[in-house]
Amino acid sequence: MELAWRIYLPANYKMTRVQRTDSSGSTSFGVSLGNPTETIVRVRFRDNNGLVECFSNHGASSSFTRIQPPIYAAAILEKWNQLEIEQLGKDRLVTCEPDEEFTLLSIKIPGELLESMKSRFDNSIYGNLSGEITRVQFMKQAP
Amino acid sequence: MEPNAKRGQRRQLFGLQVGLRQLLLAMLCVGVWFAHWTNQDGIARLEPKLANLQSLSPELIVSDPNKNAVVQLPSPWYSIRLWEVYIPTDRVRICLSTDDIAPFGLPDIYESVLLPKGQYAIQLDEQNETGGFRFLVTQNGQSCLNIEKKWVAASGGSTTDSNVWTQTKQFDDNVPIVLCRRRNNVPVPGSPGSSRSPSGPAEGLMLWLQNDH
């Protein structure tokens, strides 16, 4: 699975990809862009023997993670068409205000699907999962 | 009025006497000049956009067909690096080494294969396998070099010196083209878990093209 955007960012923006790891935790990968940039942002998912890997890349920087916990990996592999995938600018050009924080991509498991999938996994571990798998966002930062 | 006198009739324009031919010629000149000016203006506006597009979508442009040419393409995956190359002769080798990699120059120990002349994609894929790494080089999808390396996992980082050519760069055939040079850090004696950049030749990964002597 691959998602891509062509974007223009004024100076001093930071891109962050947040990936949920369990009910309370998350990891994030950030990169600061000092100069105005026109680039292509790509987010790819790949099945590596049942482990789902995520590679995101824009311009000269990139990040790589394995999707955790396994319930999220299973959702991506088996239920991709049922996930809530919000992509900024999917159908048309979107312009954001200069100081506005914006989310380029958000992938979530809908509540009902999450509940139905929990029965296949250890419900005591996944009891409080939010359903958000990953999010890519941009925010203005001080020069 | 006589017909012959009519033919010689001229109009008054800004105090000048001009005939129909001169008038049409002047209009033609203004039209051509205006089209040229519009085109120049359009080119000037599009040039920065074109430069942006070229950096977003690198393309191999061979200006001199007698020289080697390389452009780096966007990585499709974190472990993969990709180049488009043009080789004008049958005398160029692609070389891969994982030992004795110095900050400059070429290592003595390497595996290599002759490349056919032509234009194709070179891909370097680093596969993390149990107990080590496999470095696989392909030419248009066909495997040409394959090295398995049982590295100790505690190498603790590395220094990469990649030549990122997002626009085509051409080289004389006697100049080695270093596509990638990475040197693994070495452990700091007496400080478990710490590592530092190597001072001399080190393990790592180096991929380059050179003329077959």
Q: ipTM for the complex? A: 0.72
- For every one of its 143 residues, what pLDDT tens digit does chain A have, with 9 covering 90 and above? 889 998 888 888 888 888 776 656 667 766 777 778 888 888 999 988 888 888 888 776 778 888 878 888 888 888 888 999 999 998 899 988 877 888 999 999 888 888 888 777 766 666 677 788 888 888 887 76
Q: Do A55 and B77 touch (CB under 8 A)?
A: yes
- How far from chain centre, in Å, is Cα B40? 28
pTM of the model: 0.75
Greatest CA span in chain A, whole angstroms?
A: 48
- Nearest CA of chain A to the CA of B53: how many Å? 9
Cβ atoms of A123 and A116 within 8 Å: the answer is no
State the pLDDT at residue B1. Answer: 46
| Contact at CB, B74 and A38, closer than 8 angstroms | no
Q: Which residue of B56, B77, B164 is in closest CB contact with A44?
A: B77
Q: What is the mean pLDDT of the segment spanning B52-75?
A: 88
Give the span between the Cα atoms of B9 and B19, in whole angstroms.
Answer: 7
Measure A64 CA to nearest chain B CA, in Å: 6
Mean pLDDT, chain A, as a whole number? 82
Q: Kindly state whether B74 is in contact with chain A, defined as any CB-CB distance less than 8 angstroms.
A: yes
Q: Is residue B87 a contact partner of residue B65, using CB atoms and an 8 Å limit?
A: no
Burial of B17 (0-12, 13-18, 19+ CB in 10 A): exposed
Q: How far is CA B154 from the centre of its chain?
A: 34
The mean pLDDT value for B31-46 works out to 94
pLDDT tens per residue, range B74-133? 888 888 999 999 999 999 999 999 988 988 899 998 999 999 999 999 999 988 777 778
Supply the DSSP symbol for B6.
Answer: H
Closest listed residue to residue A93, CA positions, set A10, A6, A13, A25 = A6
Q: Do B56 and A64 count as a contact with CB atoms less than 8 A apart?
A: no
- A46 with B56: Cβ contact below 8 A: no
User: How far, in Å, CA of A117 to CA of A75, rounded?
Assistant: 8
User: Omega of the bond prior to A69 within 30 degrees of 0, cis?
Assistant: yes
Query: Residues B151-175: what's their mean pLDDT?
Result: 72
At A133, the amino acid letter reads I
Pair of tokens at residue B69: 């040419």
HEC readout, B61-88: CCCCCCCEEEEEECCCCCCEEEEEEEEC
Element (H, E) at B204: strand B204-211
Check residue B34 and give its pLDDT: 96
Q: What is the pLDDT of residue B154?
A: 43
Q: Where are the beta strands (DSSP E) in chain A?
A: 2-9, 13-20, 26-33, 37-48, 51-58, 61-66, 84-87, 102-108, 132-140
Q: Residues of B with CB below 8 A from A42's CB? A: 74
Among the listed ranges A75-79, B26-30, B114-118, B138-142, which one has the minimum average pLDDT value?
Answer: A75-79
